[in-house]
Structure 1
Amino acid sequence: MKSLLTRRRRVNPVYLAFMAVSFMVGVAGALQAPTLSLFLTREVAVRPFWVGLFYTVNAIAGIAVSLLLAKRSDNKGDRRMLILFCCLMAVGNALLFAFNRDYLTLITVGVLLSALASVAMPQIFALAREYADSSAREVVMFSSVMRAQLSLAWVIGPPLSFALALNYGFATMFIVAAVLFVACIGLIWFALPSVARVEQASQVAIAQLSAWKNKDVRLLFLASLLMWTCNTMYIIDMPLYISSVLGLPERLAGLLMGVAAGLEIPAMLLAGHYVKRFGKRKMMLFAVASGAVFYLGLVLFQSRAALMVLQIFNAIFIGIVAGIGMLYFQDLMPGRPGAATTLFTNSISTGVILAGVLQGTLAESFGHYSVYWAALLLSLGALAMSVRVRDV
């Protein structure tokens, strides 16, 4: 009888709703991101430099919008309503890409809609953190399981993205993404809670204002920026590198992304389980070192089998950094889950800015192979910075 009551207590419908929302938003995003470089190259017919520029402008807009909304989300208003608005913008963005092929329109209106849509995921995680704190749930595992939903989404999303785009056209792919965002809006409206703000003590407020002055926050931000620069350069370049340089099937790109995402799930869950034993700092160092091994492998090996095996290191790298990295920021910035989560996602967006410029310039000037040498050097720089961040 006691075990039955315990099991019922654990099956929390709000918990399940958070899992479902993060999964569905993840699938919708994983449908659009993997084939974006191919979409711009083939459908919009632009050169590699303009592909990279699109990623850069998109990231700059994302940072600007998220910074404007982050402070408001932590201080006033219903965070759930903000998430709903962002998902609505995501629907508009997907439909625009489905039916428009004008580069100028996509890099202006499309980028604005995309920037507003990109705020949804960090706000979902911030709401989840507030819910976990208010309901006394175990924060690390709750966040890790939620982040695992994103990895599961990326197991499904990239192969499905390439299958839809190559077999039925990019318009169909973007329409499917729009339908998923509409489903998310319904689930968020009916299932996610509105969590009341917790009033912070004055000394906590002072600590909030000086968070960026903290050396550890700055170092972690810069290290995270370099990590995501490497990862985004790989995502942008890999579909083009595989087809145009290695002469391998285009669908292999989706398969590689799906395999890596599938391996990320156990990496995240194991990281959430062992973080109390080893600490966030050691877990992050292990992850960044695995990333350096991954990019070294891309420099040295080009066969299909080698690319598949290397996804193990890629999964460890992204799986741990994406889960533990966000919590690292939150612990270094107590009392500001929205701002801390947004700072983490802005390190991703800033990495995309650098990645877009670097990938486009390197690929056009020196060829696709040079992109992976640059990623290797940046990953080593991220490792050097991560060593200097204190444990929490």
Structure 2
Amino acid sequence: MRIHSAAVRRLPDTTSSAFLIVAFLTGIAGALQTPTLSLFLSTEVIDSPFMVGLFYTGSAVIGIIVSQLLATYSDRAGDRKRLILLCCLLGAAGCLLYAYNRNYYILLFIGVILTSFGSTANPQMFALAREYAEKTGKEAVMFSSILRAQVSLAWVIGPPIAFALALGFGFPFMYLAATVTFLGCGVIVWYLLPSMPKPKVRTTEALEAPRRNRRDTLLLFAACSLMWTSNSMYIINMPLYLVRELQLPEKLAGVMMGTAAGLEIPTMLIAGYYAQRFGKRLMMRIALVAGIVFYVGMLMFTAPWQLLILQAMNAVFIGILAGIGMLYFQDLMPGQAGAATTLFTNSTRVGWIIAGSIAGVVAEFWSYHGVFFVSVGLIAAGLGCMWKIKDV
């Protein structure tokens, strides 16, 4: 009887499949919007690298505010299922606004607020998946890893599709496709995801590590923020660098992003295996070294085949950061998994804030190529931070 119950528990179920689909669709929705945003802004909204960078900075600030409000609400009283559904609907409304509006300030203040809700659907889905796994006896770490792989898979095919739709049919069509994706995701959330209302819990704990690990946690936060800053500057500037300075096809940007995302999937799995043997600190150091190699390569190489080969280093850089970074925070903050996850997520947003400011200014007064010099310096500083962290 016990064997039969265990076998049934291992079989795929509708709810688990729904989580996988939602993870994939929310990933696709993001992958349709983010890679093409700088090209969209510079060609259809405003032709100023500085204003494009400012848009990213403003987006990140608004995103932090929205995500913190939603996180507070969901931890105190929220039924995450309803919250995810709301995020999908508001995300669809934001995409619809991007499809037909071309006013910079309306997009920045109204559009970004709506799409910030949409982007929050993904982390809220991960939180609901963790609660579902714990309640049903599933292996939570492996279940979350599979969901993360779905998001990476979405980023394999999403950027090429985004550029193909934008360049072949126009940006309105691309944003309408993102709108439909959010709506389809909302339908699946409403009918197939479990409703798990949370009892009220205390949320007065500060987002800080225990005192014995506070220094290392701050160093890790600084390192991750610098790494995400470099990656965000790359996402902002790379499409414009390829088109305006190298005179390469616009679709190459989508192929490069898709290639990196595809390589990130095995990188995450391999990094997870070796992190158990050699520790997370070593893996993060490897990521930083790979990042330096990648951005030095971006400074040196200009041929499409060379840029595509370089994506292997980019995949190691981001794959380890995305796969190991959050777990490293949790190791440094035992008993504070929620606070640790929030810190890791906020390092991403801090990276966008810094990147939006630096990338726009450097591109405006120097060149898109010059941004990669800044990236090498930032990652070197991140490596210095990581070198001072004690092993866990």
TM-score past 0.5 threshold: yes
Q: Does 1:19 align with 2:20?
A: yes
In 2, the alpha carbon distance for the partners of 1:355 and 1:69 equals 24
Contact 1:94 1:178 in 2 (8 A): yes
1:67 aligned counterpart, secondary structure? helix
Q: Does 1:113 align with 2:104?
A: no
* Distance apart, 1:327 and its partner CA: 2.4
Q: Which amino acid aligns with 1:133?
A: E
* Distance apart, 1:207 and its partner CA: 6.7
* Distance apart, 1:272 and its partner CA: 2.9
Q: Does 1:374 align with 2:379?
A: no
Q: Which amino acid aligns with 2:311?
A: Q
In 1, the alpha carbon distance for the partners of 2:210 and 2:117 equals 24
In 1, the alpha carbon distance for the partners of 2:184 and 2:390 equals 41
Q: Name the residue aligned to 1:85.
A: 86
Deviations 1:306-362 (A, max 9, x none): 111110010111112112212223343445544433322221111011111111100
Deviations 1:138-164 (A, max 9, x none): 333322221111111011111000100
* Distance apart, 1:291 and its partner CA: 1.3
* Distance apart, 1:85 and its partner CA: 1.4
* Distance apart, 1:374 and its partner CA: 0.4
Contact 2:207 2:339 in 1 (8 A): no
The 5 Å alignment of 1:131-280 reads 131-195=132-196, 197=198, 210-211=208-209, 214-280=214-280
* Distance apart, 1:276 and its partner CA: 2.2
Q: Which amino acid aligns with 1:271?
A: A
Deviations 1:48-87 (A, max 9, x none): 1110000000000011121222233223221222222111
In 1, the alpha carbon distance for the partners of 2:283 and 2:141 equals 13
The 5 Å alignment of 1:125-136 reads 125-136=126-137
1:137 aligned counterpart, secondary structure? coil
Q: Name the residue aligned to 1:364.
A: 364
In 2, the alpha carbon distance for the partners of 1:138 and 1:81 equals 25
Of all paired residues, the percent bearing the same amino acid is: 53
Q: In the superposition, relative to structure 1, how do residues 297 and 172 fare at CA in structure 2: closer, same or farther (>3 Å)?
A: same
Question: What is the TM-score with the length of structure 1 in the denominator?
Answer: 0.92
* Distance apart, 1:134 and its partner CA: 3.5
Contact 2:207 2:340 in 1 (8 A): no
In 2, the alpha carbon distance for the partners of 1:5 and 1:78 equals 29
* Distance apart, 1:168 and its partner CA: 0.3
In 1, the alpha carbon distance for the partners of 2:26 and 2:373 equals 33
2:194 aligned counterpart, secondary structure? coil
* Distance apart, 1:186 and its partner CA: 1.4
Contact 2:77 2:199 in 1 (8 A): no
Q: Which amino acid aligns with 2:189?
A: I
Deviations 1:169-194 (A, max 9, x none): 00000000011111111111222224
Contact 2:88 2:121 in 1 (8 A): yes
* Distance apart, 1:196 and its partner CA: 5.8
In 1, the alpha carbon distance for the partners of 2:359 and 2:210 equals 29
RMSD (Å), alpha carbons: 2.4
* Distance apart, 1:385 and its partner CA: 1.5
* Distance apart, 1:2 and its partner CA: 10
In 2, the alpha carbon distance for the partners of 1:274 and 1:4 equals 34
Q: Name the residue aligned to 2:329.
A: 329
In 2, the alpha carbon distance for the partners of 1:3 and 1:304 equals 54
* Mean Cα deviation higher: 15-24 or 221-230: 15-24
In 1, the alpha carbon distance for the partners of 2:167 and 2:306 equals 25
Q: In the superposition, relative to structure 1, how do residues 196 and 340 fare at CA in structure 2: closer, same or farther (>3 Å)?
A: farther
Q: Name the residue aligned to 1:123.
A: 124
In 2, the alpha carbon distance for the partners of 1:342 and 1:209 equals 8
In 2, the alpha carbon distance for the partners of 1:118 and 1:12 equals 27
2:78 aligned counterpart, secondary structure? coil
* Distance apart, 1:12 and its partner CA: 3.5
Q: Name the residue aligned to 2:54.
A: 53
In 2, the alpha carbon distance for the partners of 1:26 and 1:219 equals 29
Q: In the superposition, relative to structure 1, how do residues 21 and 178 fare at CA in structure 2: closer, same or farther (>3 Å)?
A: same
* Distance apart, 1:106 and its partner CA: 0.6
Question: What is the TM-score with the length of structure 2 in the denominator?
Answer: 0.92
Q: Which amino acid aligns with 2:271?
A: A
Contact 2:18 2:193 in 1 (8 A): yes
Structure 2 unaligned blocks of 5 or more: none
* Mean Cα deviation higher: 284-293 or 209-218: 209-218
* Mean Cα deviation higher: 109-118 or 123-132: 123-132
Contact 1:129 1:337 in 2 (8 A): no
1:119 aligned counterpart, secondary structure? helix
In 2, the alpha carbon distance for the partners of 1:45 and 1:194 equals 43
Q: Name the residue aligned to 2:383.
A: 383
In 2, the alpha carbon distance for the partners of 1:212 and 1:330 equals 11
Q: In the superposition, relative to structure 1, how do residues 173 and 254 fare at CA in structure 2: closer, same or farther (>3 Å)?
A: same
1:211 aligned counterpart, secondary structure? coil
* Mean Cα deviation higher: 370-379 or 215-224: 215-224
In 2, the alpha carbon distance for the partners of 1:62 and 1:12 equals 34
Contact 2:77 2:200 in 1 (8 A): no
Structure 1 unaligned blocks of 5 or more: none
Q: Which amino acid aligns with 1:285?
A: R
Deviations 1:272-304 (A, max 9, x none): 333322332222222222112111111222221
